[in-house]
Amino acid sequence: MSSSLLVRLTLFALLLLAPLESASAQDPPPTAVIVADALQQPLEQEISLVGTVQPRRSSLVASETEGRVVVRFRDIGQAVEAGEPLFRLENDALSASLLEAVADVRLHRFNQARSAELLRQNAVSEQILHEDEYQFARARAKLQSLENQVEDLTIRAPFTGHVVETASEIGEWVRRGDGVARVIATDTVRVHVDLPERHVDQLQEGDKADVVIDALGSAPRTGRITAILAEGRAASRTFPILVDVVNADGRIRSNMSAQVRFDVSSDAVALLVPKDALVNTPSGQVVFLAIDDQAVPRPVTPGLAYKGYIAVTGELQPGDLAIIRGNERLRDGQAVRIIRKHQ
């Protein structure tokens, strides 16, 4: 092979390889990333306490009259509507008095009507008519009172709920004021928790709370503080707090255990970044910032966690764009392309 031909082949090979070398020398494409602002705001601390569920309304239903129990309409564990009968009593003396009162009303009505007619005929004095009208009014008042007492022989539920206790059996004599059944309403339940005194001034009535019932394994339910008692417990230095939770499905039952979480603000101001912004490296934890389309690592020291954010200290400023997606394999100075900003 001649030397001129060899030179030509060499030049041709170099021309073919030149584009490949040029392509390999190009920088890799920017890494797509998602960013979020670093935030500066007062740090909120989450307090988790264990409490006990109680019904919002509980009533020991008492008898307003006396009598012998003849019917029990509802038993323990059964649901009851407001005004629905629970017990029926019987009182023979009261029934007899009612019949007597009915007769008295009829008699005094007749006497009053007769005196009015005689007065028109000037046969009796006006005083006689007034006396008969007075006796008629007294008889009607007595009848009304006895009718109310007979009505009270049926003991009714004061509100819609469940019967959880009965204190009387058929045949027993019930006196006026005796408790015969306990009814509770759990459409809204009330969680009792003891709050450490150092947090009392940081909460107020109406504040929200997340309530988790461990026995149900369900998602947190939103409750509201309805009362912070003025008197605390001296032994534990805690103050009772009442948190109401809507229980429309009726799954929450009285005396269940509940975890109650409150968000308590403090005066301290912290710099917060989403927890996904933290990257573990051999030298410690860093947050990559997107600066001029490049990834710039900033060493940080993490602090308290709060609702998906982490309080950090380091060379960060409020408003810095912290990379929260695509930061797993970033290097210092690597080109990045922001495809979305997390709000």
Residues 33, 293 contacting (CB under 8 angstroms)? no
Question: Residue 134 has what pLDDT?
Answer: 94
pLDDT tens-place string over residues 206-224? 999 999 998 998 789 999 9
CA angle 313–314–317, rounded 5-degree value: 95
Question: Residue 257 has what pLDDT?
Answer: 95
Residue 298 pLDDT class (50, 70, 90 cuts): very high
* Longest Cα separation, the chain: 167
Q: Has residue 286 got a pLDDT over 80?
A: yes
Question: Residue 45 has what pLDDT?
Answer: 76
CA distance 8 to 10: 5
**Residues 35-57: what's their mean pLDDT?**
89
Q: Closest Cα to residue 287, out of 20, 39, 66, 102?
A: 39
Q: Tell me phi and psi for residue 7, to 5 degrees.
A: -65, -40
Question: Residue 1 has what pLDDT?
Answer: 47
Question: Residue 22 has what pLDDT?
Answer: 45
Residue 8 pLDDT class (50, 70, 90 cuts): low
Q: In this structure, what DSSP letter does residue 159 have?
A: S
Residue 20 pLDDT class (50, 70, 90 cuts): very low
CA distance 26 to 257: 64
Residue 151 pLDDT class (50, 70, 90 cuts): very high
Q: Has residue 279 got a pLDDT over 70?
A: yes
What is the pLDDT of the chain when averaged over all its residues?
89
Q: What is the pTM of this model?
A: 0.64
SS (H, E, C) 246-288: ECCCCCCCCCCEEEEEEEEEEEEEEEEEEHHHEEEECCEEEEE
**Residues 20-29: what's their mean pLDDT?**
56
Q: Which stretches does DSSP call E strand in 129-282? A: 154-156, 161-166, 173-174, 179-196, 208-212, 221-228, 238-246, 257-274, 278-281
Residue 5 pLDDT class (50, 70, 90 cuts): low
pLDDT tens-place string over residues 251-272? 999 999 999 999 887 667 889 9
**18 versus 316: which is more confidently predicted?**
316
Question: Residue 23 has what pLDDT?
Answer: 42
Q: Has residue 296 got a pLDDT over 90?
A: yes
Q: Has residue 148 got a pLDDT over 50?
A: yes
**Residues 62-83: what's their mean pLDDT?**
95
